[in-house]
């Protein structure tokens, strides 16, 4: 389901977290579905189980999954998680806007990028 890119500058746990987050957001992993065990993911990706556990902890902190002792982790309802993630991304976008302006990016270019994304 997810893969690791060893040329990516991000740590492996972030790649795992982001991969599962994307699967949850797109509905590939629907609400209530059981997440693969840490051991299963670790074996399939040949990654240390602690790395997978860290990714799962972060997904749980973000509200994307819930852990049930003795049963495993499950995909959570996304309402709250989507709202939190949206605010985080908008904050990052607002931080980038002044820098984009400083390097000469004009408003029309940004508007075109946004329109292209929403017309996909």
Q: Domain residue spans in the chain? A: 12-77, 80-118
CATH topology of domain 12-77: Arc Repressor Mutant, subunit A (1.10.10)
User: Which range has the top average pLDDT, 51-60, 93-102, 110-119?
Assistant: 51-60
pTM value? 0.72
Pairing of strands 72-75, 65-68: antiparallel
Alpha-carbon Rg for the chain in angstroms: 17
Mean pLDDT of the chain: 91
Fill in the DSSP letter of residue 35: P
Q: Of all helices (H) and strands (E), which one includes residue 87? A: helix 79-102
Rounded CA-CA distance 25/65 in Å is 12
């Amino acid at each position: 389901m997810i893969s690791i890119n060893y040329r990516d500058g991000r740590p492996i746990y972030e790649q795992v977290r982001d991969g599962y987050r994307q699967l949850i957001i797109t509905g590939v992993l629907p609400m209530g579905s059981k997440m693969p065990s840490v051991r299963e993911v670790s074996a399939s990706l040949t990654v240390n189980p602690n790395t997978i556990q860290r990714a799962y902890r972060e997904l749980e902190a973000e509200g994307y999954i819930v852990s049930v002792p003795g049963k495993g982790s499950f995909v959570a309802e996304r309402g709250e998680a989507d709202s939190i993630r949206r605010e985080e991304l908008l904050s990052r976008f607002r931080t980038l806007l002044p820098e984009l302006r400083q390097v000469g990016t004009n408003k029309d270019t940004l508007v075109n990028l946004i329109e292209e994304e929403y017309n996909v």
